[in-house]
């Protein structure tokens, strides 16, 4: 699991490996990391975007991306 942006400060640093029950949902993993669901904007598995209800498979590598702000 890789965490980007401010998520790196909120959860243990860098790439994380955690074990979850088979069929656990993406949202459950976010909560296991101690993050709130609103702190994560996108979750990717490879090139695929996942929603919070998506079930995980053995060996999945996730990328968690926080909301991005800015403008002029």
Quote the number of domains for the chain.
1
Predicted pLDDT at 64:
92
- Give, for all 72 residues of the chain, the pLDDT tens digit: 888 888 877 766 556 677 888 889 999 999 988 888 888 999 999 999 999 999 998 888 899 999 887 666
pTM to 2 decimal places: 0.80
C-alpha distances in Å from residue 64, one per residue of 17, 58, 68: 13, 18, 12
Q: What is the largest CA-CA distance in the chain?
A: 44
Here the CATH number for the domain that contains residue 39 is 3.10.20.30
Per-residue pLDDT at 54: 95
Closest C-alpha to 3, from 23, 29, 25: 29
Q: Which domain holds residue 15?
A: 2-65
């Amino acid at each position: 699991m890789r965490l980007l942006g401010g998520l790196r400060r909120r959860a243990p640093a860098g790439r994380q490996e955690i074990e979850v029950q088979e069929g656990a949902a993406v949202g459950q993993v976010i909560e296991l990391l101690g993050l709130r669901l609103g702190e994560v904007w996108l979750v990717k598995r490879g090139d695929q975007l996942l929603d919070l209800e998506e079930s995980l498979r053995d060996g999945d590598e996730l990328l968690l991306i926080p909301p991005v702000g800015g403008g002029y």
